[in-house]
């Protein structure tokens, strides 16, 4: 086991050094605008740009999903060209497909397929940010089972294939549900991390950046002043806890999901919460992107997180926190 760990450590750090050198030699047009939003489809890119690139900003972030059953090169080539047109920095979450109310478990065989497909697209930035699936500490996100060892194993496999395709791929883990309890359907993220590391002691040295789902719990209604694992500062808890598993001290953080539920809550109060969050918690020097969930959703269960009033083109008051207008486009 000790020899295996040493071999893995040498391989990882050799590759990391090569990535660092290539970055110096080629430069990086990746910008520092940390405003972002999560969207459902590429048709929302113009709206997203209006939101995150308002007040003269450029290259705000947009998180979206590409599914295995949607790997259409023509479709996504056109979509990525739109990202360049609207000066949006993509955070791509790869996914399998939904069957019977849950997401299929990823397979090792699809790793080179994903790497080839993603490498064929016209990325608008040198840094190609890819997040590996979603909240695997939920059984429904992982083929009906909770399998930290399997997640670690497949994360390494996909990381290797993406890096073989291009050193420009910048690989994030999934965001984890920090509020999930231990049970048949979910696992506490702390225990999940422990079991990932038990299977692969170097798994947390692998990732180029850290993905976090730092929601304001409980009930998506917590104060922006709260601290701890289940607050909007949950990413700080994750960084601190994973230090013992050798997660880099200065790793960049991508808050891929966050946000207050607007169901029955005061809209102006939520706007104030976002203002405070961006000026305090999310001003943390390691946070490079915050993409609240979700730009537009017209029905349950996610309409309570929508930044646009369902069945309208009008932003909720908190949409103006980024400086955008009230119109969708």
Show Cβ contacts of residue 250 under 8 Å, excluding neighbours closer than 6 positions.
Answer: 286
- Alpha carbons within 13 angstroms on the beta-carbon side of residue 23 total 17
Structure tokens at 48: 């997203």
The reported pLDDT for the residue numbered 49 is 96
For 184, other C-beta atoms within 10 Å of its C-beta total 7
Residue 53 lies in a domain: yes
- Alpha carbons within 13 angstroms on the beta-carbon side of residue 285 total 2
pLDDT at residue 14 is higher than 70:
no
Residue 174 lies in a domain: yes
The reported pLDDT for the residue numbered 322 is 85
Buried b (16+ CB within 10 A) or exposed e, 58-75: ebbbbbbbbebeebeeee
Q: pLDDT higher for 55 or 106? A: 106
Residue 6 lies in a domain: no
Residue listed under structure tokens 């203002």: 275
Residue 73 lies in a domain: yes
Distance CA 256, CA 38 (A): 7
Residue 4 lies in a domain: no
Q: pLDDT higher for 246 or 54? A: 246
CATH code (residue 97)? 3.20.20.80
Q: How confident is the model at residue 325 (pLDDT cuts 50, 70, 90)?
A: low
CA–centroid distance for 268 within its chain: 27
The predicted-structure confidence for 262-314, as pLDDT tens digits, reads as follows: 876 688 999 999 999 999 999 999 999 999 999 999 988 999 999 999 888 89
Distance CA 139, CA 142 (A): 5
In the predicted model, what is the mean pLDDT of the chain?
90
Q: What is the mean pLDDT of residues 2-16?
A: 48
Buried b (16+ CB within 10 A) or exposed e, 154-180: bbbbbbbbbbebebbbbbbbbbbbbbb
Residue 17 lies in a domain: no
Residue 307 lies in a domain: yes
**How far is the first Cα of the chain from the last one, in angstroms, to the nearest whole number?**
56
Closest to 212 (Cα-Cα) out of 155, 248, 271, 252: 252
The reported pLDDT for the residue numbered 108 is 98
Residue 112 lies in a domain: yes
User: Using an 8 Å Cβ cutoff, are 231 and 212 in contact?
Assistant: no
The reported pLDDT for the residue numbered 324 is 58
Domain count, the chain: 1
Q: How confident is the model at residue 19 (pLDDT cuts 50, 70, 90)?
A: very low
Distances (CA, A) of 203 to 129, 195, 244: 18, 11, 12
Range of the domain at 207: 30-322
Lowest mean pLDDT, pick from 10-14, 75-79, 134-138: 10-14
Torsion of CA 271, 275, 281, 286, to 10 degrees: 120
Q: What is the mean pLDDT of residues 52-75?
A: 96
The predicted-structure confidence for 123-176, as pLDDT tens digits, reads as follows: 999 999 999 999 999 999 999 999 999 999 999 999 999 999 999 999 999 999
The predicted-structure confidence for 180-226, as pLDDT tens digits, reads as follows: 999 999 999 999 999 999 999 999 999 999 999 999 999 999 999 99
The predicted-structure confidence for 81-99, as pLDDT tens digits, reads as follows: 999 999 999 999 999 999 9
Closest to 273 (Cα-Cα) out of 286, 292, 288: 292
Dump strand ranges (E) for the chain: 36-38, 60-67, 88-95, 98-99, 102-103, 128-132, 169-172, 209-213, 252-257, 287-290
């Amino acid at each position: 086991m000790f020899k295996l760990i040493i071999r893995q450590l040498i391989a990882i750090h050799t590759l990391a050094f090569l990535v660092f050198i290539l970055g110096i030699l080629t430069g990086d047009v990746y910008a520092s605008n940390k405003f972002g939003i999560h969207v459902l489809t590429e048709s929302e890119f113009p709206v997203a740009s209006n939101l995150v690139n308002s007040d003269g900003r450029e290259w705000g972030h947009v998180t979206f999903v590409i599914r295995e059953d949607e790997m259409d090169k023509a479709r996504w080539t056109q979509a990525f060209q739109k990202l360049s047109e609207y000066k949006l920095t993509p955070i791509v979450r790869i996914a399998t497909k939904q069957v019977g109310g849950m997401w299929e478990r990823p397979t090792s065989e699809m790793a080179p397929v994903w790497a080839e497909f993603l490498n064929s697209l016209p990325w608008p930035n040198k840094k190609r940010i890819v997040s590996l699936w979603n909240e695997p500490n939920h059984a429904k996100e992982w083929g009906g089972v909770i399998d930290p060892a399997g997640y670690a194993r497949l994360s390494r496999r996909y990381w290797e294939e993406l890096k073989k395709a291009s050193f420009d791929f910048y690989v994030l883990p999934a965001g984890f549900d920090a509020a999930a309890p231990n049970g048949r359907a979910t696992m506490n993220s702390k225990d999940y991390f422990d079991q990932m590391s038990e299977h692969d002691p170097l798994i947390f040295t692998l990732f180029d950046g850290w993905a976090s789902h730092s929601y304001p719990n409980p009930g998506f209604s917590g104060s922006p002043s709260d601290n701890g694992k289940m607050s909007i500062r949950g990413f700080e808890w994750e960084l601190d806890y994973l230090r013992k598993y050798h997660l880099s001290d200065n790793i960049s953080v991508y808050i891929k999901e966050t946000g207050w539920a607007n169901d029955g809550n005061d809209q102006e109060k939520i706007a104030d919460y976002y203002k405070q969050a961006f000026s305090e918690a999310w001003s943390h020097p390691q946070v490079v992107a915050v993409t609240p969930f979700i730009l537009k959703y017209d029905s349950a269960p996610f309409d309570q997180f929508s930044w646009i009033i369902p069945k309208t083109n009008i932003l909720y008051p908190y949409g103006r926190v980024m400086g955008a207008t009230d119109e969708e486009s």
